[in-house]
Structure 1
Amino acid sequence: MAGISKSFFKAEPGQLVESDGELFKITHLMSISSVLAVNIKTNESVRLHVENLVPISPTEVTEKKYEERLHPDLALFSDDEWAEAQRRFQAIKPLLQNPIRTREDAETIATKHKIHPATLYKWLKLYQDAGHVSSLVPTKRGRKTGTKLLASEQEKIIESAIEDIYLSKQRHKPQDVIEEVLRRSRLAKIPPPHPNTVRNRLAVLSPANTLRRRGFKEAARNKYAPILGQFPGADYPFSVVQIDHTEADIILVDEAHRKPIGRPWLTLAIDVYSRMIAGIYITFEKPSATSVGMCLAQAICPKREYLAEVEVGGEWSVWGVMGTVHTDNAKEFRGTVLERACEEYFIDLQWRPVMLPHFGGHVERLMGTMANEIRKLPGTTFSNPTQRKGYDSEGMSALTIKEFERHIVEFIVNVYHQRVHSQIGMSPKQKWELGVLGDANSSGTGVMPIPADPLRIRLDFMPFFERSVQQYGIQIDGISYYDKVLDPYINAADPDNPKAKRSFLIRRDPRDISKVYFLDPVDQRYVPLPYRNIGYPAMSAWELREVQQTLKTQGMRNVDEHMIFEALDRMRVRIEEAKQKTKAARRQQTRIPLPKLPVVVFSKIHSPADKSMNQNERNFGMAEDDPFAQPIKPFDEISIIR
């Protein structure tokens, strides 16, 4: 089964690429979304779309094979390994920011960090070749950094002594901690750890947390917190992206009966330099880390397939990794998954100061522009009751969430991006192209590096779990998943602790948990795992939570997946009976994942029976592993495999 890898490449002259199985060399940049390239075999020049290109290295061409580099998932690194990668990145950062650097510059930086210049250049090459921070994680032979060989009792004594003695406002010295560890070891009658082991545990503590716990909150904030009063000048595309949510001022209707169900939430990301909208996410669920992650993932990835899905014509040629993401202080903008994903792609995640909304002025103005557009639609609630007086928002509501999303995307792509923006004196699209391609007076950034596998990017922003593999597969929230790819890992032992079972990384799309994604440790690729019982219906994580809460209130104990899906069936029957009566039930219906679509065969020749199909039958698509939008290709007729 095909896996999922992650990498980026930048389309620029001289780059070897593959397109439709042919090898090309890029010669010119024609636009922000296309290049001119020469076919290596035929020497013919052709125009290629950037989104269809796959990068190829000279070594791969020589060896006549295309091997992708393996990138371990960022969640697998220990805190020590990740801290070391961050330290190395900070060392090479001045060199990255200085394109005309000299050997003297490198020697100065190396002296400052107490390393040899050759080591600094080695780190620089590792980062430039891979394009991500995780390439700087140390790969030394032997025991991995952060491996703990002490008995659990010894580790607990060290941890408790550090917590009680060192991380306190009394500000004890490391020697005090060592003496306390020795004292507690004698009382517990266990061999005391070596003093250097205690010192090592102190050395890997978070500097910011240590300062805060020892009473230096202001010093920790000044040294380690983001510079909240300002962000780096947005003087090129994707240098700064702002993101925020709003509850749209409109009542939408359900798909089945066209009756009101409530207001949707709109998440938007905007490039401050050009005012181009970088990403969008619309849902009935309240803002969450998933909303933020999906919006940022869409901002990083190309959007041609998404435009086809929502049936909007035009171009939305915005993709790439942003330098800074600026958000407010809401809890959905904080969390391990989001923060580590941003660190992996070298995205500086900054939070604006509390009670100072003007620091998010660009996205706030965008939300105002969107609100003005939404007020033109049927079912608007306006911005306050006074404006709404005399207007029946629910009675006038007419758009489903899909129709609403189509209208918003149409406005973004073909109106907002095209018209002159008062603050930049040109359209956002023109400003973006100027920043990317440059002109006679300025050099552009060049076409943004494009993700080779968009699904891998999206997975990196999804929630993750760690599970061992049992004979039945793996289990998450009481539901079992299985695929034969798991067989070699059944009851596998932890390589670092043979007495413990090995844990594997699993990612899950909360909108459809009928499959999860297993990170195969051999080739570092994600493989989709379906339900062990493939007869169970798809459901969302939100539905699962409601089912589990219902069973809990009913006093159910030792709940298994059979009970979960029986309860799900009962809940959906009640929703089906009630959705014509209440908004809440119809809103709940929107949380049910769409049913799997039948496989279709595209054909230009069809029988009279094919012609008798109605339009709905002709609109069936192909279901794929990607839980996100699949490309919709134009076609004339289809025939359905029964």
Structure 2
Amino acid sequence: MGIYVVAVGLVVRDGQRTWRFERALDDERKTVVFLDELTHAPRTMSLAELHRLVDSGRLSVDRGDSPSLLRTTGRPAALISTVEDLRPDVRAEIERRHRYLLYLRKLGITRGQRKRITQAIDRLAGKLPLQAAGKEALDPRPPSASAVMDWMRRSELSGGNLAALVHRSSIRISGPRANPRVREAAQDLIGDHYLQRKRPVLTETKLLIDRKLSALAQAGEVPHDEARISMSTVKRMVLAVPPFERDVARFGPAYAKNKWRYSLAGLRVTRPLERYEIDHTILDVVVIDDTSGMPLGRPTITLIVDSFSGYVAGFFISFWGAGLASALAALKVAIAPKHDVTADQGLGQPWLPYGIPMLIVADNGLEFHSPQFHAVAMHLGTDLEFCPTRQPWFKPVVERTLGTLNLYLPASGRVEKPRNNYLPLRADKTAAITFGALCRGILKAVVEILPFERNARTLCRPFEKFSEGMEGLLPPSLPTSTEELNLIVAQSDTATVNHEGVVKNYLRYHSDGLRDLQRATGAKFSTTIKLDPNDISKLYVRDPVSGAWLCVPSCRPEYTTGLSIVQHKAIRARVKGDLNQRNADEMLIRSKLELIDEWNTQHIRGRRLKPTQLRGLAQLTSGHVLGPKPERGLAGGDSQPRLITESELRPMPTDIPTFEPIALRRRDAR
């Protein structure tokens, strides 16, 4: 994934034609004009349409200086790699280099200014550059100016792709690691001795670790040749402890809170897109279904607000609850241009915010602290900052906006606050607002009401403050694709790939790319898959060899397009309930039993037939059995001749022999 800016120098490719950005028109649609590099033919489109075409892959960002007719069409790669798929040590090195590049970029230093780069690294004095979250740690090996310039060159040539910062030696196989018992002994002494308020030096802790390892070797718990650990390993184990926890253990909670979490000056925001705040909440209203009219419950809204102006940049409403998928969906709305959304809903005011923010402030929810959300921030090139524990006023703008937004909710179905000596009405009994009407109402409040409310302290309106602040800034950055972000937050599972592809949730997924992967790996193999719960029209299959991901579409696109996993399960449950009401299972079992009885009866009857009769019956077909019955003549005879008569099918009568009586004489009668 790369980053691009709609400014002079932007070149996009559509097939074999390349279009260079010419200018942007100051109209409501935010129209941008491109010129063909060969014919100078103009091509106009809205900013939202440009973002949608680049995100879908129909337009590719090309930074070449001149077009070439022999160049092949730029198509997106089939395999996708993310930072999440790398080893922890490689990911840590990428993050270290990325922090240096962000630090120099904020200082306005380019890759050719060697002297300024050297001075900036010297000012750090062996420490990693501070992130917005205040994460500070010692850098055991600060880079040289040449190394940083090489990182900047590789990052700029790749369009800001994080893969350009991967160390070339990361593919080498690492050597043997320390004995688990040795690491356990070292961790015990680091926690019992080094992480104490007396703040002993690390060399003293290293001596105690060596003495304990010597005792373990004499006791026979650890082999003598493995009863040792290097100073660098001990330092890495200390650095593995979160810096905030190290400060709490060695300096106390008051020092750590003041260093990491506490702020006395309030929000220091100077421009739009500098600081975005994100939060979830459950709306105080019960909505009903648009089709059936049944109560659905209270939905959850994820809101993103610009701290500088108080302008709502994006929101997402669902019944998924507070989670990673909701946060990513709201973030994608906040980044994308939104003129088409307001035009389709007939709103009279534009929705201004778009672009990648510089900083995202979130609370301490598990979804924000997850490695997936950190990987999303790294791919977008933005920083993360977390509120102190139980201090929601650290992000006051989004908290205030959520409270104000609840005031515009309808009275029907509103959840009332408990009061003394009062029984509130049940919200599900008074609910009368559909989910679609709620979404449209929230959109109208976000676009046409909240931006034009005057702040009581500053006497400024968010709409004017945001638009005036954007006039003095460069064009915002936009991602070339959001498929990597969808891959990061997708749900992981294990599945088997065979000749019919991948079967997940009773749906089959297959493609030509998966067929090629099978031919290179095996006809049947087990691997990891990822499925986006918001869109089950495709899933991602992990290549067992390279570790990259392959996007595989569904074999039933007419059903799965735009369908979520929750809707799919609800549809299956509804259909299954209808079948149960019609006693479909009982009818199927009764039909199976009747078929078994029919086979048994025909089997007994067929054994009684003679071979000659069987040969005659062999000429019959299913058309004779299942077709219409032949019409009989006037005399009652059949119109069609028969091969076997009914008398031949009857058992032949057997003649009973007669016997003459025999007279028996007695001997005395002579």
TM-score, length-scaled by structure 1:
0.68
What displacement does 1:86 show? 2.1
Q: Quote the residue 2:665 is aligned against.
A: none
Residue 70 of structure 2 is aligned to residue 38 of structure 1 = no
Offset at residue 108 of structure 1 (A): 1.9
Match of 2:245 in 1: 212
Secondary structure of the residue that 1:399 maps to in structure 2? coil
1:93-132 equivalences in 2 (<5 Å): 93-99=102-108, 102-111=113-122, 112=125, 114-130=142-158, 132=160
For the pair 1:28 / 2:62, whether they are aligned, the reply is: no
Q: 1:247-306 CA deviation, whole Å, 9 max, x = no partner?
A: 212221123321323222222110112222112111223322322232223222334565
Measured after TM superposition, the shift of residue 208 of structure 1 is: 3.9
Contact 2:362-2:386 within 8 A present in 1 as well = yes
Q: Larger relative contact order (C-alpha < 8 A, sep ≥ 6)? A: 1
Distance change in 2, residues 1:301/1:218 (3 Å):
farther
SS of aligned partner of 1:104: helix
- Seen in structure 2, the aligned counterparts of structure 1 residues 170 and 428 have a Cα distance that, compared at 3 Å, is closer
Match of 1:134 among 146, 158, 162: 162
Answering whether residue 525 of structure 2 is matched by residue 509 of structure 1, we say no
How far apart, in 2, do the equivalents of 1:80 and 1:138 lie?
Answer: 11
Distance in 1, Cα, partners of 2:452 & 2:157: 36
Q: 1:329 to 1:138 in 2, by over 3 A?
A: closer
Shift of the alpha carbon at 1:464?
Answer: 4.3
Structure 2 counterpart of 1:173, which letter? T
Contact 1:379 1:394 in 2 (8 A): yes
Matched, 1:485 2:520: no
Structure 1 residues 100, 197: CA separation in 2 closer, same or farther (over 3 Å shift)? closer
> Is the Cα–Cα contact under 8 Å of residues 174 and 199 in structure 1 kept in the other structure?
no
Give, in whole Å, the separation in 2 of the partners of 1:49 and 1:213.
51
> What is the DSSP-based 3-state SS (H/G/I as helix, E as strand, rest coil) of the residue aligned with 1:42?
coil
Where does 1:234-273 land on structure 2 (aligned, <5 Å)? 234-273=269-308
Q: Of residues 446, 451, 456 in structure 2, which corresponds to 1:417?
A: 451
Matched to 1:368, the amino acid is G
Q: 1:150 is matched with which residue: 153, 171, 176? A: 176
CA distance in 1, matches of 2:526, 2:213: 30
CA change 1:185–1:51 in 2 (3 A) is farther
* Letter matched to residue 242 of structure 2: N
What corresponds to 1:51 in structure 2?
Answer: 48
- Change beyond 3 A, Cα 1:482–1:201: farther
Structure-2 separation of matches of 1:256 and 1:431 = 41
Offset of residue 77 of structure 1 = 1.6
- State the one-letter code of the partner of 1:285: W
Q: Distance in 2 between matches of 1:306 and 1:223?
A: 43
Distance 2:309 2:581 in 1: 45
Q: Which amino acid aligns with 2:103?
A: P
Structure 2 equivalent of residue 528 of structure 1: 552
Structure 1 residues 91, 286: CA separation in 2 closer, same or farther (over 3 Å shift)? closer
Shift of 1:513: 5.0
Are residue 160 (structure 1) and residue 176 (structure 2) matched? no
Q: Is the contact between residue 300 and residue 320 of structure 1 (CA under 8 Å) also seen in structure 2?
A: yes
Contact 1:301 1:320 in 2 (8 A): yes
Shift of 1:419: 5.4
Q: Secondary structure at the match of 2:12?
A: strand
TM-score by length of 2: 0.66
Identical columns (%): 17
Q: Partner of 2:412: helix, strand, or coil?
A: coil
Offset, 1:389: 8.0
After superposition, give the CA deviation of every residue in 1:463-505 in whole Å (9 maximum; x if it has no partner). Answer: 44577867776688999865553345559889xxxxxx9965x
Structure 1 pair 60–462 and aligned structure 2 pair: CA distance change class (3 A): farther
Structure 1 partner of 2:466: 432
- Residue matched to 2:332: 297
Distance change (3 Å), C-alpha of 1:421 and 1:81: same
Compared with structure 1, are the counterparts of its residues 539 and 42 closer, same or farther at alpha carbon in structure 2 (3 Å cutoff)?
A: closer
Equivalent of 1:64 in 50, 67, 71: 71
Conserved 8 A contact 2:451-2:461: yes
Structure 1 gaps, min length 5: 1-5, 495-500, 548-564, 578-642
Shift of 1:374: 0.8
CA distances 1:163-188 after superposition (whole Å, capped 9, x unpaired): 44444446673465567668768946
Gaps of 5+ in 2: 51-58, 127-141, 196-203, 584-670
Letter matched to residue 51 of structure 1 = A
**Structure 1 residues 368 and 300: alpha-carbon distance in aligned structure 2, compared to 1, 3 A threshold:** same
Q: Deviations over 1:499-541 (max 9, x none)?
A: xx9965x432234557422356879565035489999999966
State whether residues 33 and 50 of structure 1, in contact with CA within 8 Å, keep that contact through their aligned partners in structure 2. Answer: yes
In 1, the alpha carbon distance for the partners of 2:421 and 2:555 equals 50
Tell me if the contact between 1:167 and 1:213 (Cα under 8 Å) persists in the aligned partners. no
Residue 615 of structure 1: aligned partner = none
Deviates more, 1:183-192 or 1:98-107: 183-192
Local SS of the residue matching 1:173: helix
Match of 1:635 in 2: none
Q: Which residue of 2 aligns with 1:604?
A: none
Of 475-484 and 508-517, deviating more is: 475-484
Q: Distance in 2 between matches of 1:249 and 1:328?
A: 21
Shift of 1:366: 0.9
Would the aligned equivalents of 1:182 and 1:192 in 2 still touch at CA under 8 Å? no
Higher mean C-alpha deviation, range 134-143 or range 252-261: 134-143
Q: Specify the alignment match of 1:173 in structure 2.
A: 205
Amino acid at match of 2:476: M
- Structure 1 residues 115, 232: closer, same or farther in 2, change over 3 A? farther
Please tell me whether Structure 1 or Structure 2 has the larger radius of gyration of its CA atoms.
Answer: 2
Secondary structure at 1:516's aligned position in 2?
A: strand
- 1:89–1:133 contact (8 Å) kept in structure 2: no
Partner of 1:631: none
**1:534-553 CA distances to partner (integer Å, 9 max, x unpaired)?**
99999966799x99xxxxxx
Question: In the alignment, is the contact (CA less than 8 A) between 1:269 and 1:296 conserved in 2?
Answer: yes
- 2:11 counterpart (4, 16, 23): 16
Task: Note closer, same or farther for the CA distance 1:286–1:72 as it changes in structure 2 (3 Å cut).
Answer: closer
Alpha-carbon RMSD across the aligned residues, in angstroms, is 4.8
Pairs aligned (count): 536
| Aligned match for 1:374, one of 389, 404, 409 | 409
SS in 2 for 1:261: strand
